[in-house]
Structure 1
Amino acid sequence: MLRVQNLSVHYGMIQAVREVNFEVNQGEIVSLIGANGAGKTTILRTISGLIRPSKGSITFEGNEIQKTVPQKIVASGLSQVPEGRHIFPGLTVQENLEMGAFLRKDSSEMKADYEQIFKKFPILAERKTQDAATLSGGEQQMLAMGRALMSKPKLLLLDEPSMGLAPIFIKEIFTIIQEIQQQGTTVLLIEQNAKMALSIANRGYVLETGNIVLEGTGAELLASEEVKKAYLGG
């Protein structure tokens, strides 16, 4: 579904991503793990069209998208939940969800989709007339995921969904990610919580200073001595 080939990204003279290659197949959860500053978020922002690569190609469902504007990428079926959530303060929960559906033309189906989101995230149904800025961190993460799902993505990009959340919310978020996959949405997950990310992943890649240094199934990477030592506390 997604193929990234020889991807390099620079910020001025600094090379943040170096000749990266990976792919995501339909129906998978693929996790990209690595320390802070490894280039994970840069890769997602480049896939989403927010950053232009200095080299390489990004192919989504057979079409190259590395020069495509972000709104067309979203319209093609690829949506991102950004690091830090970036919900719209001053808008209600309902209005934030409506922003996720901004590019959709099938208004007749949208009511059923809102109901699906509220079923998946019951707390959002309780808070739908509330200013989104007043939600807790975990609730805002659920809203950011619901907003992205309202664009009906074929591929969902998740950037650090557990960051700053209490353990009870982290467990809930990862359960929801698995449910999203089971309901037919492919997931590319970037996450510092390597143990949680690999435990739900079909496959994973380890990124260090802009390079992919290891790849394998989620189970293989969890069992890897290198991964254990670097990311799982020994």
Structure 2
Amino acid sequence: MLKVENLNVHYGVIQALHDVSFEVGEGEIVSLIGANGAGKSTVLKVLSGLHRLTSGKILFHDQEIQKSATKKIVESGISLVPEGRHVFAGLTVLENLEMGAYLRKDKGNLKKDMDHVYERFPVLAERKNQDAATLSGGEQQMLAMGRALMSKPKLLLLDEPSMGLAPIFIKEIFAIIQEIQKQGTTVLLIEQNAKLALSIANRGYVLETGKVVLSGTGEMLLNSDEVKKAYLGG
């Protein structure tokens, strides 16, 4: 579904990514793990058109998208849940969800998809007329995910979904990610909690200082001495 080839990315004179290559197959959960500053979030920014690459190729369903505008990337079926959630303060939960469907042409199906989001995240239905800024961190994460799902993505990009959340919310968010995959959406997950990310991943890649240094199945990486030492505390 997604093929990234030799991605090089700069912020001014600083090179953030060095020849990064990876693939995401249809129906998979693929996790990118690594320490702070490894380049994980930069990957998602480039995939969603928020930052331009220096060189390399991004193929989505065999079509090159590295020069496409963000709007076109969303329309092609890629949706990002950004780090830090970024819900629209001053808008209600319902209005935030409607913003997720802004580019959709099939407006007749919005109510059905809104109902699906409410089924998946019942708390959003309870708070649909509440200002999004007044939700708890976990509820805002659910809203950000629901908003992304309203665009009907084929590929969902998740940037640090567990960041700043209480353990009870983290467990719930990761169960929902698995449920989203089971219902047919492919997931690329960027996550600092390596153990959790790999435990639900079909495959994973380890990024260090902007380079892919290790790849394999989620189970293989979980059991790797190198990964255990660097990311799993022994």
TM-score normalised to the size of structure 2? 1.00
1:226 equivalent in structure 2: 226
Aligned counterparts, 1:10-49, within 5 A: 10-49=10-49
Aligned counterparts, 1:205-220, within 5 A: 205-220=205-220
1:99 and 2:99 equivalent? Answer: yes
Q: Which string of whole-angstrom CA distances, capped at 9 and with x for unpartnered residues, describes residues 26-82 of structure 1? A: 000000000000000001000001111001000001100000000000000000000
Q: Distance in 1 between matches of 2:6 and 2:58?
A: 9
5+ residue gaps, structure 1 = none
| SS of equivalent to 1:104 | coil
Q: Distance in 2 between matches of 1:179 and 1:43?
A: 24
| SS of equivalent to 2:4 | strand
Look up the equivalent residue of 1:106 and give its one-letter code: D
1:182 equivalent in structure 2: 182
2:168 equivalent in structure 1: 168
Look up the equivalent residue of 1:27 and give its one-letter code: G
Q: Distance in 2 between matches of 1:66 and 1:156?
A: 17
Look up the equivalent residue of 2:7 and give its one-letter code: L
Aligned counterparts, 1:116-155, within 5 A: 116-155=116-155
Q: Which string of whole-angstrom CA distances, capped at 9 and with x for unpartnered residues, describes residues 147-189 of structure 1? A: 0000000000000000000000000000000000000000000
1:66 equivalent in structure 2: 66
Q: Which string of whole-angstrom CA distances, capped at 9 and with x for unpartnered residues, describes residues 112-142 of structure 1? A: 0000000000000000000000000000000
1:85 and 2:85 equivalent? Answer: yes
Look up the equivalent residue of 2:88 and give its one-letter code: F
CA RMSD of aligned residues (A): 0.3
Q: Distance in 1 between matches of 2:230 and 2:123?
A: 36
1:112 and 2:102 equivalent? Answer: no
Look up the equivalent residue of 1:80 and give its one-letter code: L
Q: Distance in 2 between matches of 1:134 and 1:201?
A: 32
Q: Which string of whole-angstrom CA distances, capped at 9 and with x for unpartnered residues, describes residues 80-110 of structure 1? A: 0000000000000000000000001111111
Q: Distance in 1 between matches of 2:149 and 2:93?
A: 14
TM-score normalised to the size of structure 1? 1.00
Q: Distance in 2 between matches of 1:41 and 1:21?
A: 15
Offset of residue 21 of structure 1:
0.5
Look up the equivalent residue of 2:25 and give its one-letter code: N
Q: Distance in 1 between matches of 2:209 and 2:199?
A: 23
Q: Distance in 2 between matches of 1:123 and 1:180?
A: 17
Offset of residue 224 of structure 1:
0.2
Aligned length: 234
1:204 equivalent in structure 2: 204
Offset of residue 2 of structure 1:
0.3
Q: Distance in 2 between matches of 1:138 and 1:129?
A: 18
| SS of equivalent to 2:165 | coil
The percentage of aligned residue pairs carrying the same residue is 75
